[in-house]
Structure formats: C-alpha cells, structure tokens
Chain A
C-alpha cells in the first residue's frame, strides 16, 4: 500500500511540474504586454517592466519563477489585480471561501444523490423513479450558472427569502442564508449525477444472483441493499467523485461571480482578463494541485475498497 501511494505521489509531482511549465510558457506567449497603462509614460513603463523581469526572455522569466518557488516559496507577485501582493497570499485569503463552498456542495450532494438513486432503483420503473429520472435529466442538462441565476432571481430577488448576493460582513444567520443559494446551485448537478450513477449500478446489482442469495439467507431487502448492493456500487461511484469535484470547482468560477463571492474563481477570471500572469499561473497551479490531490485520494480509496486495483498497479 505504501509503495502504491508513493508511486501516485511521484506521478502527481511530475504531472504538476508539466502543468506549471506548459501554463507558464503558454500564458507568457499570449499576445499583449503584462504591464501597460496609458496613464504612465513609456519611460516609466519600461522601468516597471524591468522591475518585474518582464524585459527578459520567457525562459529566463521561468527560471526566476522556479527559483522563487523553490528557494523562497515565492509564487510571484500580482502585477495588476492586487499590485505588490504575493500571489500566494491572495490565494490563501480566497481558498477558504471557495473550498468550503465546494466541499459543502459535494458533501450535501453525496447523501442526497445516494438517497434519490436508491429510491429510484428500488422503485424501478414506478412513478417516483420516472419523476426522479426526469429531474435528473433536467439537472444534468442545464448548466449550474442557469440554476444560480434562477435561484438568485426567484428566491433572492422576487421572494426575498435569501440575500441576492453574498456579503462578507454578514455573520450568524445572515451568513448562513447568504451561502444557501450558491451551495444549492453548485450541488444540483452533482446530486443528479450521483443519483443517475447509483440508480444504474443498483438496478444491475439488485438483479444479480448474490442478492438473491442474500435474501434467501434471511436478510430483508433493505439489509441486503445496505450490506451488499451498496458496497458493489461504491467503486464506480468513487470514480466519478473526482470528476464531480473538479466539475464543482469549475462551476464555482461562474457561481462565485453571480453571487459576488470573493473566492478563487473570481480571481481566476479577473487575472486572466487583466493579464495578471503571475496570479493566473498561481491560480492554475492551485486548481491543478487540488484536482490532482482529488485524484490521489480517490486512487487511495479505490485501493482500499477494491484491493484488486492496488494489486494490479503493483503487477
């Protein structure tokens, strides 16, 4: 198991380095200049560019960037979005909000998806199954930002049940109400995805012979499902957790803007638009790192749930 985890960690490091290199070079070769301001004289602009090594060749800039990360833990300094602030500090201030929204959405999605998926599978081809399946199709087809806008318009603006936007100064009940809509918007898609996967898996498992054996041994239908069917359906469900989490991360880029949440998503969009390359690269590294960690965790979980996977990896 240790060797398996170490192997995955090395792969993670190599992948991350490749992503960083490609991101840095690609972003630096984008048209336009990092530092420009029509209200600054060309001579002053040249001096500012020199200050940030922007007058050097791209590979030399990459050397400075890597040297900064390795020797000083310096991810670079934001040039436009938050001038003079280290990119890592900006990220650090944004990660808690973004990650908490994403994780809460995922954590809510899991039990709800499991419940709906189970009900749907147990009532296969009945009225409730048809209703859930129809809702699942709608929720998977419609992007999360459409749900977000609808929730904001109806529940926030029209009915006034929730704040229209997130307010950082809100505390207690106000704060709880402010995060309901974005979490709902983020969770709708994953709930539908989990429901669909679990329903499919459970329907297949329920009709298998070992379930019949379990029932003939005297287990109730519910006991058989919980003790045997779920365990068999868990492997494919774990596999989709990574894509779900990455999907929520991607979705939150837009959701954060709609609800004015000061998270990583907003800074990512702003950094790209403003050509704040150091910050863009830092955010890209963050997203890559989080996604790779999610992959690693699922790989480890799969290794625990299904030992054949880690044995296969060893062979």
Chain B
C-alpha cells in the first residue's frame, strides 16, 4: 500500500518537475519588414564578436518612462533610439553629438533660444521596419508627462538639461486636472517630420542636444496593449514580448533576472559605427560567482567593490576612473527629539573631527571635503576642483583638525547645558565598506571627544531602509545621522546642480535642509544669467559652498572612485573620458584572444 502510494506520488511529481523546469524558450523578435538594412548582413556565427557582461541585478524594464536606474538607462542606450547620440570624434577622441532619429541639429527659432525645432529623419525605423514620424515622439512625450500615470521618469522629458514650458505643471496636475492641459505644454508637432519645443528659459543648442540624448521613444501599440484599465500604468517593455527596439541593438533574448542577449540592429542609422555583433548580459547576484566567471574567461568586464578590488589591485587589466558620487555624513538637524543635532557648533565639531583620509582608505575612495564632486565642470576647460580660486579655499588636511573639533564640541555642550552628547548613526548593514566607515567613525569620535563626553549608538538596517530614512520620507524623527552618497551627471557641466540635493528648491531635495539663504542662491544659480556664464556660475557655486560649509548642512567625506577589470579581448576605443566613459558601445573584440 505504502509503496504504491509513494510510487504514485513520486512519479508524477518527477515528471511534472522535469517539465516545469524548462523555462520559457527564446522568443524571436519581430523581423524587419520594410526598411532595408543600412550595412552588410551579420557575419558567420564562428566570427561573431560577442561582448559578455554581467550585473548583480537585472533591469526591471526598458521603458523610458519608468526605468530610473542607471543600468536601465544604459540598457535603453543599447536598445532604444535617441534624437541625438553622443559618439566619439574619430580625430579628437572626444565626445561628438550626431543626429540619430533627428535629421539635423536643433534649429533656433527665436533670438533668445527659447523656441527650438528638431527635424526628424524620415528613414528612422523600429526594429520591425515600421517608420518613425513626429507622432511617435508626440505620443512618447505625452505619456511621459501624463498626470494620471505619474511616470517616475517624466521629469527626464520636461526637466533635465532643458526645462520645457509647463511640462512639470501638467505632470503634477493630478487625476482631477488643473488649469494645465497637454495643449499648454511646450511640445508641438509642426508636421510629420518636425517637432517644436518651447522652453521655460534661454538655452543653448548644446543643452537642447544633450537633453535629447537621454530621451527614448515608446512603441505605441505595445504601450497601449500593456496599459491597465485605469490607465495609471503599463507593462510596456517589461519583457521581450512587450518591447520594440529601435537603437543600436535589438533584444534577442530576455529571461528576467537571468539573461539578456542583444544583437546588432542593422536598421539603426549609425550601425556602421557598431563593431560588436552581440552583447550577452548575465545576472549574477553572487560576486564570488561573478569573479569565477571572469577568471574562466566568460566575462569581459566586472565592476569591483572595496572587497573584490583587493584581488586585482596589481592586475594590469584593472581600470580606475573618477566618479561623480560624493559620500556625505548627514546630521538630521531638523529632528526635534535631539536638540544636539540642530546646534551648529556640534555639527562643526563633527565635521572637523572626521579623518577623511582614514574613511577613504576604508572605502577605497578619495578623501573629500567639498560638496561638489571632483568630476564637476568649471570654466575655460578646467574642472571645478582644479580652478585656482577653488583650490585656495579647500580645507587643509581635508578638513580634519581634532583640536578645532574639540573647541567646537565643548562650545556646543556649553550652549546646550550638557555634559555628554548622545546620538545615533544608522548604517547600511549590507554595504561592508559603509558599515566599516560608520564603525570607524564611532571609535574615532569617541577617542577625540572622550568616552565620558560622547555616546554614539549604531543602528544597523537593510540597505533600502537605511537609505529611505536618510531621505527623510517619513518625517524628521526617522533618523539622527547616517552616511549617504549622491551624484548627478549634469554636474559635469553645472557644478551648482549638486546643491539640488540640499535645498528645498532643488528638484531632488532629499532632506528638508531649510536654509533660506542657500535656497535663494540656488534659485539664482539656475537662472539664465548664471547658467550661461560658467565663470559667474562658479563664483556663485563657491559662495553657496562656503555657506553650506559654515552651517554644516551636510558633511562631505569621500569622492568615490570607480574600479573595473576589463578582459584583454575587449578593445576599448578611448581611455576613460568624463563624458563618454570607456566608450564601450563603440568598442571592438579581438577574436584571437
């Protein structure tokens, strides 16, 4: 009886398991139907140049309205068209903007630079051969700004390098609507192959181009097919079946959280510039497994963190590059539960007591006492950090001075009538380097101020909880202090944009740092007068930094350094460039290695 029962249960289970085990077979993407290939057909399989990449986490979608991770923007760069594409100038090896879905560079329609027209390339096609028109882009822009969908990436369309008139006002008008309608937004179709943009201020042609190098189209039939009944969200581009490519590559295979394969799209207007035929992305959550893949020659590029870097420190294949990410120590001065935090002398004491050299060693980054990242632009071809006037005010010893720290600390305790200072630091338990930094901070501050005068409690949290508390999304009492890091690519051109994280008028204000004087300066720095005069902008940015440093609204501690190991078979077209990175999209593969 028992034997029969077991056999009758186990056999069907085994069969079911084997059947279920086979995951979804690769889906063949739609084949081109109308537009002819612009270059030669693919080479024979044995000569195919395949770039093998991996990441610890898969992208969630390729929807330009929804995917706000850097990896998702990278994926869109490979798979979706842009109006303009940042490429490499073959002579200077610097950035060169080329029209992609646009037919030519933007045309200024008025004297101020407020109205711009972009002619479209009538030969631009989706991977299925269907041609683009102005309606393709109008649908894309309207959905991006849709006040019912409230797409997270909406602002990338109406407010990034340029601000489109009434874009944000319409986006935030809610389901009930306000006085703003889509008709009020400064995006208009002039004819089937011309778009016109009315901006909220004066902008240069380069700014308009740069803005549209970050905006991708959506394929209306799939977008609408994935829309829910209330039209609040769509499943567009969340799987291979719901996405239509139009960029340098097509999506050949995508098993979410496992693998993506791109193949060169010969319909893409700049296909001649692409040398790699296929790109294979593996999702490998375990860094140990990723290292094994790289060592066994199954990966071409691997990002290194503070732990994995040690193994490749002396490896000639190691590449390091400056990052726009600045690490900060945040003291939540608005927390009403601990008056210590709002005392400016206490914050000054902490700032002077942080040994940034030691912190940077733990994180394998650069010690940093400036709000602005080292990659930020200045003027006259000199970066912000290298300008003589900026260097002149940079704090000695990266702002580490224990004696000064003790002076401010005693002053703070006296002002508050305290003998001991108690406060809590939250830490991200999953990031080893951050945890070590916070533990080091606890010890070093205790040593400087004395065990009897300071009591620091550490509170470990998972990554998402720690970061969301620092974002202060649930009110001022959620945390007392913690480390965070922020970066914004456009600081490469406008150093003042780093302040948007720390001012109420900043679009990305992460915490309610309410300093009206700084806020007024930030608003001023965003005006045409400053934005279009780099020297003037630097001067104002320096004033803002001096104020922020004096009030210690946030404490900069490190500037990150990017590290990756790159296999010898990948032939990079340029050394690292702040605008283009390593130009991996334009790289080649040495098939002999």
Contact = CB atoms under 8 A, between A and B. Distances in A.
A39 B508 CA distance: 6
Contacts, number: 190
A291 to B, nearest CB: 17
Contacts of B174: 47
B407 to A, nearest CB: 34
Given A103-B13, A107-B10, A160-B296, 15 more contacts: A31-B468, A33-B473, A38-B486, A40-B155, A41-B507, A43-B172, A45-B473, A77-B233, A97-B23, A149-B288, A169-B26, A259-B289, A262-B283, A270-B57, A301-B5
B289 A84 contact: no
B468 A152 contact: no
Give 7 closest A-B pairs by Cβ, nearest first.
A168-B255, A32-B468, A168-B258, A33-B473, A100-B21, A96-B20, A262-B257
A86 to B, nearest CB: 9
Interface residues of A, number: 68
Contacts of B509: 41-42
Contacts of B282: 165, 167, 260
B464 interface: yes
B475 to A, nearest CB: 10
A101 interface: yes
Given A32-B473, A273-B430, A38 B5 contact: no
Given A168-B255, A168-B258, A104 B18 contact: yes
20 contacts: A31-B468, A39-B508, A41-B168, A41-B507, A47-B172, A51-B232, A83-B152, A93-B24, A96-B20, A99-B17, A104-B18, A157-B292, A171-B25, A175-B22, A262-B257, A262-B258, A262-B283, A273-B430, A304-B1, A305-B1
A286 B292 CA distance: 33
Contacts of A152: 288-289, 292
A157 B255 CA distance: 24
Given A104-B21, A167-B282, A32 B469 contact: yes
B566 interface: no
A164 B285 contact: no
A107 B11 CA distance: 9
Contacts of B286: 257-258, 260
Contact of A47 (B68, B150, B283): B150
Given A37-B152, A40-B68, A48-B150, A272 B462 contact: yes
A80 B67 CA distance: 10
A110 B289 contact: no
A85 B67 CA distance: 13
A266 B235 contact: no
A74 B554 CA distance: 43
A107 B283 contact: no
A149 B292 CA distance: 11
B478 interface: yes
A313 interface: no
B60 interface: yes
A147 interface: no
A165 B478 contact: no
B10 A165 contact: no
Contacts of A104: 14, 17-18, 21
A17 interface: no
A164 B60 contact: no
Contacts of B474: 31-33
Contact of A260 (B235, B284, B463): B284
Nearest to B256: A262
Nearest to A164: B292
A82 B296 contact: no
Contacts of A66: none
B23 to A, nearest CB: 5
Given A36-B473, A41-B507, A101-B21, A157 B256 contact: no
A263 B467 CA distance: 27
A157 B16 CA distance: 31
Nearest to A297: B9
Contact of A275 (B226, B234, B235, B465): B465
Interface string A265-303: 011001011110000000000000000000000000100
B4 to A, nearest CB: 11
Contact of A267 (B2, B235, B257, B430): B257
A30 interface: yes
B28 to A, nearest CB: 13
B154 interface: yes
Q: Looking at A33, A43, A45, A261, which has the most chain B CB atoms within 10 Å of its CB?
A: A33
A156 interface: yes
Interface of A: 30-33, 36-45, 47-48, 51, 77, 80-85, 93, 96-97, 99-101, 103-104, 107, 110, 149, 152-153, 156-157, 160, 164-169, 171, 175, 179, 230-231, 234, 257-262, 266-267, 270, 272-275, 301, 304-305
A263 B152 CA distance: 27
Nearest to A175: B22
Given A44-B150, A96-B21, A273 B258 contact: no
B235 A84 contact: yes
A223 to B, nearest CB: 13
Q: Chain A CB within 10 Å — which of B26, B256, B430, B463 has the most?
A: B256
B66 interface: yes
B171 interface: yes
B10 A274 contact: no
Interface string B466-497: 01110101100010000000100000000000
A164 B296 CA distance: 9
Contacts of A169: 26, 253, 255, 259, 261
Contacts of B13: 103, 107
Contacts of A157: 292, 295-296
B409 interface: no
B292 A36 contact: no
A110 B468 CA distance: 46
Contacts of A153: 292
A267 B152 CA distance: 22
Contact of B464 (A100, A230, A274): A274
Given A84-B234, A275-B465, A41 B18 contact: no
B308 interface: no
A274 B66 CA distance: 16
Nearest to B238: A85
A305 B2 CA distance: 7
Contacts of A171: 22, 25
B289 A32 contact: no
Contacts of B233: 77, 83-84
Contacts of A305: 1-2, 5
A168 B61 contact: no
A83 B226 CA distance: 13
Contacts of B465: 30-32, 275
A186 to B, nearest CB: 12
Contacts of A261: 258
A169 to B, nearest CB: 5
A107 B468 contact: no
B235 A96 contact: no
Contacts of B478: 31-32
A150 to B, nearest CB: 11
Given A30-B465, A164-B292, A231-B2, A85 B235 contact: yes
Contacts of B259: 167-169
A165 B152 CA distance: 33
B18 A32 contact: no
A210 to B, nearest CB: 17
Contacts of A179: 21
B141 interface: no
B88 interface: no
Contacts of B226: 84
Given A31-B469, A169-B261, A301-B5, A97 B21 contact: yes
B510 interface: yes
